[in-house]
Amino acid sequence: MDLVELTEEIVKSIVLHKDGVSVKEFPTDEENVMLIQVMVLDDDMGRVIGHDGRVANAIRTLVQASSALKDNKYIKIDIDKF
């Protein structure tokens, strides 16, 4: 499972509207950096961000740890709503 799929699975396990989740990878100017954009519906935004950003930070930590085991890239995850 690649990092985009992992991120999508984690986010879909949190939200109420699983069909309203879009996760894509975007290129960056930096060589060893991967940008993953997560788009969710407005209703699910609070669930994905969490209180004080704790859920979002946990998602970032899990994906970064998985990256350290595979290709060791720095992962940036941008969470936004449709």
Predicted local distance difference test score (pLDDT) of residue 47? 96
Average pLDDT per block of 10 residues along the chain, 82 residues long: 94 96 94 95 96 96 94 93 90
Predicted local distance difference test score (pLDDT) of residue 71? 84
- Which residues are paired to 81 by β-bridges? 40
Predicted local distance difference test score (pLDDT) of residue 70? 87
Predicted local distance difference test score (pLDDT) of residue 57? 97
Domain locations in the chain as residue ranges: 3-81
3-state SS, residue 10: helix
Predicted local distance difference test score (pLDDT) of residue 55? 97
**Under CATH, which number does the domain 3-81 receive?**
3.30.300.20
Question: pTM, whole model, 2 decimals?
Answer: 0.92
Residue 43 CA: distances (Å) to CA of 11, 25, 56, 66, 81: 13, 23, 16, 28, 9
